[in-house]
A = this chain, B = another copy of it.
Amino acid sequence: MSTIDMIEAAAGRLAGHARRTPLLSSPFLDDIAGRRVLVKPECLQHTGSFKFRGAWSAVSALDPDVRARGVIAFSSGNHAQGVAYAARLHGVSAVIIMPSDAPKMKIDNTRALGAEVVLYDRASEDRDALGAKLATERGLTLVKPFDEPLVIAGQGTSGLEIVEQAAGQGVHQADVLVPCGGGGLTAGIALALEARAPGLRVRPAEPEGFDDTARSLLSGQIERNERLSGSLCDAIITPQPGNITFPINKRLCGPGLVVSEDEALRAMALAFARLKIVIEPGGAVALAAALFRPDQIAGDAVIAVASGGNVDAQVFRTALERFAE
């Protein structure tokens, strides 16, 4: 069970290792949203996404003897890079299991961060069995992407920063919009806000067609996505909310917000022009909701987390070509 004490402890372990990201704003974005917009750019975190926080939290909490045998993770994306880099900085090995059809750049980046990448064939191989075999043979510890209290606690450290930084800008009452996949970042921030800034409330943001958490919050039980691919917002597409994250989010979050892929791309172009940051489509859904769903948000300020920036140049160029003013 994740608690504020675990988040505070994770913050202690992350100090001097994870980056304290700033809280950005622009009067031009305020004008579009009709209220103050504060953006927490986790794209500026090590490895380009918030995932480094949870990975560091989990790896740093391991017993040194256990950690020395190495860690293992399943991921084709941001979690892979976060775990690979956290392991490298701890001086231990990391095995990352990726589908053989993952983008070459992501495979190369994960290898360049020092991890051993093991590829498997989605059609013919059982990923979990492969991972279990490797873990047993080598004594590796599995680092789960979201349904793991230490990982949730690590993601929650960004929430502690939001609490301080929002108060520093005079914001004590606002919705905090968080891009939501499995729900680890959402749950971690929600727990931090519950304890330290009860006037701030988390609301998950998702892309159309992949709004499992919004629908789950409405129905009160875990709902699945019909599709699992075909979105530019790949970084935050998961089959369904996590078994550990969802009860937290059900208890603490306000209603989910849903935006289109084009709105995410437009938010990316605005973040380029007005904040000078690079956001990936999945990482832009919360900013898109802040800008383009003003009627679904109350209050004179809104906070949006930009959760990651690992986007192909081609996709980014398309966003600029279509939506830059």
- Among residues of B, the one whose C-beta sits closest to the C-beta of A49 is B276
Interface centre among A28, A112, A269, A272 (most CB of B within 10 A): A272
In the bound assembly, the distance between CA atoms of A317 and B321 in angstroms comes to 8
- Whether A20 is near chain B, meaning CB under 8 Å from some CB there, is yes
CA distance A19 to B39 in the complex (A): 13
Interface core residue of A20, A31, A316 (most chain B CB under 10 Å): A316
Q: When the two chains form their complex, are residues B168 and A272 in contact, meaning their CB atoms are under 8 A apart?
A: no
State in angstroms the CA–CA spacing of A269 and B269 once bound together.
16
Inter-chain contacts of A156 with B (CB < 8 A):
none
- Inter-chain CA distance A112–B30, complex, in Å, is 12
Contact indicator B20/A22 (Cβ below 8 Å): yes
Is residue A171 within 8 Å, beta carbon to beta carbon, of the partner chain?
A: no
**Which chain B residues border A21 with CB–CB below 8 Å?**
22
A210 nearest CB across to chain B (Å)? 23
**Category for how many chain A residues contact B:** 35 or more
Closest B residue to A24 by beta carbon equals B44
A182 within 8 A of B: no
B309 pairs with A316, CB closer than 8 A = no
Q: Which residue of B lies closest to A31 (CB)?
A: B112
- Tell me if A82 counts as interface (CB < 8 A to partner B): no
Q: How many copies does the complex hold?
A: 2
List, in ascending order, chain B residues with CB within 8 A of A105's CB.
325
Q: 1/0 per position for A293-325, CB-CB distance to B under 8 A?
A: 000000000000000010001001100110011
Contact at B22–A44, with CB atoms within 8 Å?
yes
Interface positions of A from 145 to 204, Cβ below 8 Å from B: 168
A48 closest partner in B (C-beta): B276
From A276, which residue of chain B is reached at the shortest CB distance?
B309
A113 within 8 A of B: yes
- What chain B residues lie within 8 Å of A313 (beta carbons)? 269, 272-273, 320-321, 324-325
Contact A276 B113 (CB under 8 A): no
Chain A residues with a Cβ under 8 A of chain B? 16, 19-22, 24, 27-28, 31, 41, 43-44, 48, 85, 105, 109, 112-113, 168, 269, 272-273, 275-279, 309, 313, 316-317, 320-321, 324-325
A41 contacts which chain B residues (CB < 8 A)? 276
Tell me the dominant secondary structure on chain A's binding face.
Answer: helix
For the complex, give the distance between the alpha carbons of A27 and B110 in Å.
12
Chain B residue at smallest Cβ distance from A274: B48
Q: Is the CB of A272 within 8 A of B278?
A: yes
Q: Does the CB pair A275–B44 fall under 8 Å?
A: yes
Can you list 21 pairs linking A and B with CB atoms under 8 Å apart? Answer: A16-B168, A19-B24, A21-B22, A28-B109, A28-B112, A31-B112, A41-B276, A44-B275, A44-B276, A44-B277, A105-B325, A272-B313, A272-B316, A273-B313, A276-B278, A276-B279, A277-B277, A313-B321, A313-B324, A313-B325, A317-B321
C-alpha spacing A313/B19, complex, angstroms:
28
Residues of B within 8 A of A324 (CB): 313
A309 to B41, CA, bound (A): 16
Residue of B nearest to A320 (CB): B313
* B19 touching A19, Cβ below 8 Å: no
Measured between beta carbons, the chain B residues less than 8 angstroms from A278 are 272, 276-278
